[in-house]
A and B are shown apart, each in its own frame.
Chain A
Amino acid sequence: SAVISQKPSRDICQRGTSLTIQCQVDSQVTMMFWYRQQPGQSLTLIATANQGSEATYESGFVIDKFPISRPNLTFSTLTVSNMSPEDSSIYLCSVKGGFAGELFFGEGSRLTVL
Chain B
Amino acid sequence: GQNIDQPTEMTATEGAIVQINCTYQTSGFNGLFWYQQHAGEAPTFLSYNVLDGLEEKGRFSSFLSRSKGYSYLLLKELQMKDSASYLCAVSSNYGQNFVFGPGTRLSVLP
Contacts and interface: CB of A to CB of B under 8 A. Distances in A.
Interface of A: 33, 41-45, 92, 96, 98, 100-108
Interface bracket on B: 10 to 19
Nearest to A33: B98
A43 B95 contact: no
B64 interface: no
Q: Majority SS of interface residues in chain B?
A: strand
A24 B99 CA distance: 23
A89 to B, nearest CB: 13
A107 B103 CA distance: 18
A42 B103 contact: yes
A111 to B, nearest CB: 14
Given A42-B103, A45-B98, A100-B48, A92 B31 contact: no
B20 to A, nearest CB: 14
Given A42-B102, A42-B103, A105 B42 contact: yes
A103 B42 contact: no
